[in-house]
Structure 1
Amino acid sequence: MGGVCCRPTPIDFDGDVTLFHFTLLRCVGKGAFGKVRVVQHKQTKELYALKYINKQKCVKMKAVPNVIQERRLLEEIDHPYIVNMRYAFQDDENCFFCLDLMLGGDLRFHLERLGSLEEDVVRFYVAQLASAVAFLHEHGIMHRDIKPDNILLDQRGNAHLTDFNIAVHFSERKLTGVAGSMAYMAPEILAKRGYTCHVDWWSLGVCAYELIFGRRPFRGRTNSDLTYSISKDSLKWPEDAEKKCTRPGMLVLKGLLDRDTSRRTGCKPNGEGFQELRRNPWFKEIDWEKLELKELSPPFVPDAKKANFDASHELEELLLEDNPLKAKARKASNQENMTPEYKQMEDQFTPYDFKKMQRRSYYPHNQSQLISTATAGSSTGMVSSAVTSGSRPGTPMTTAGDGGRVTIHNGSMDMHRPEEEHDGVAYDNEKEPR
């Protein structure tokens, strides 16, 4: 008789998604506001990466607009080479993103382990990422923070773009907010005279150069030195460049890193820039139709027997976490007593379930476009693979005090590259163009 009261509460899988719908597995990443865990849906048994963001920390760091913006942008997009959102929900303490699971680690992890990557591997990643960037630009979205840390591999070795925390819609009006990781910022961002989606092609060029040669094309010990290098220094090649990269590859890198956006590879309007890239001789061995269908075999396959991420996150969760994550029923909310920031999260971080809802845009210039969930990027018939953003160690932050902008100085990378500047990451709460 006494055991009856201890039966678990039945889970309503027909209602809005909650944390009760998932089994919590290992912790695999840590970000500024929360962590990333592998979870399994109790009904479908599919695996996902659950990124959870602590509301209190988010409010304290004035990052609520970024979280809401990321939530809304991710509902709009679904692409084979993007880490797509499958569910979104919240409880009293956290906002949750349930994302495609990537088990192959991020490219920063592999770059630090290997020193550099083979040209054919980088060419394959650039093709996949160019497809993702072109898709975003077609939907009026610029990422603004493309870097190896935000490129994740699935267990087969396919590259996926992640972390849309400072992504933003763009229109004919140019943006001026300084946002992104300084080492990967395009010169027009640093010039503060206005920029548009062309900045993503520059960042992709910096990534490709760094992956092939094991160093970035523009460097400096201080932010001012780095700004000068990005803005003024000529593009130089390492002494052993010809051993690591063919001439067609160098020409693509040079094209992506052209300061003149009218000449920069990928930047021609109406998708012509991407088509021009596809026709480039460097990609002659890429079957773009099969690539878009994810039918090509990646040239590099992560070692499935090894952890492709920092295993210390799991130990930290077990030993140091004062308030470990667990499913809790929501308390009755009284919005009259909520601060504006908490009310904004309550109202705007709405539930999402990719199996029940069509993807849509919250932004007026895109609302005529409804995006079907049955795209090539859907996880239907496939367990999506790998760890989401936040897999790098947490970084100290300071509030810049200029309208909600938060600047992050990622000192953890300096230890690996003492000759280079620290990666400044500026989160700018740029308002969406209307």
Structure 2
Amino acid sequence: MQTQIDPSLAGHPGIDAAQAALQRCVHCGFCNAACPTYRLQGDELDGPRGRIYLIKQLLEGQNATASSQHHLDRCLGCRACESVCPSGVEYGRLLDVGREIAAGRIARPWRQRWLRRALLAILPYPRRLSPLATLARLAKPLLPAALRAKVPAKPAPETWPPLSHRRRMLILEGCVQPALAPRINAAAARVLDRLGISVIRGQSACCGALAHHLDEREAALEAIRHRIDAWWPALQAGAEAIVITASGCGTMVKDYGYLLRDDPDYAAKAAQVTAAAKDIAEIIQAEDIAKLSVSPRKIAFQAPCSLQHGQPLSGVVESLLTGLGFELAEVADAGLCCGSAGSYSLLQPELSGRLRLAKLTALQAGQPELIASANIGCLLHLRETAGVPVVHWIELLDSADGLNI
């Protein structure tokens, strides 16, 4: 696709990647068949090919409109289109640039602006989110049904194993996860402890994904630099890897090297952090899983988009679970998004709800005992209306009795 970039965009940090993506696109439309929003809406502008044309117009200097921004906002960022694209178009990076340019040219309605500001002011900070979650639990009987479903149960205190092994790894504790589901990281630490690996804890903080997805580039880069600074001493001291249990965060951290590639102070460090970042499945896959004693059962695995298309690690968790004796129910359209997509479920509730209904129908068709996921956002989103328990898959490996799951 030939593009004449607006001279005013020269020097924009993502413009080269955007132009390369446009040049690779051959308009074949394979991406639309894999796109959740296109399949729901049947609108060319709600599919990757149509959005690519919208972004092309923005890059060529045409005015942004509320309509174009609306269609870009409705993209989940699931990157299923990248997995099927025969030309290797890096649509995700193109979308980031397009959304950022649109956000700089047109103001959203005030309700959207305030909601986005509230999300950025609360969700990345566990010390703010935790007390609000407590208040929500107290007020739960008074809340509308839709909001009651979003209030998680009070998490129980978790026990972390001591640092007793020579092999050590860092862990990304995250922001929403330690506040609403602290059991996940603690379970990962206990599983790794049984495999002879000690986990080094750090400050609970955002990886930068939320700000990045909300078009707040500078806030995202600042969060990234803070994460790098926090991890750097332990990496220099010999920590083998950075373990990540939220696949959405994993996709983000593995992109640090790209996002800070032009930063003279952080480019080299960011590249090293990217190389060290590993999803928990990648870590366990390389170990002797025969050391793990589990209680196999029939489950449905929801493979998050960030795991399948973002990293990509399609099939890794499934292979681990079947290797440990779990029976995996067949899931139709397993590559389609559940509708969580970070803050998407809060910003686009109607489309998100339709996608969740379709995903839960597919997941529960095989009558599993429970649903396992690999990402905190998907887990919380599905749990709201699922007919069976929804857990992180690492919790299934935490003990032979399943810890009352």
- For the criterion TM > 0.5, the same-fold answer is no
Shorter-chain TM-score: which interval? under 0.3
TM-score, length-scaled by structure 2: 0.26
The structure, 1 or 2, with the larger RCO (C-alpha pairs under 8 Å, 6+ apart) is 1
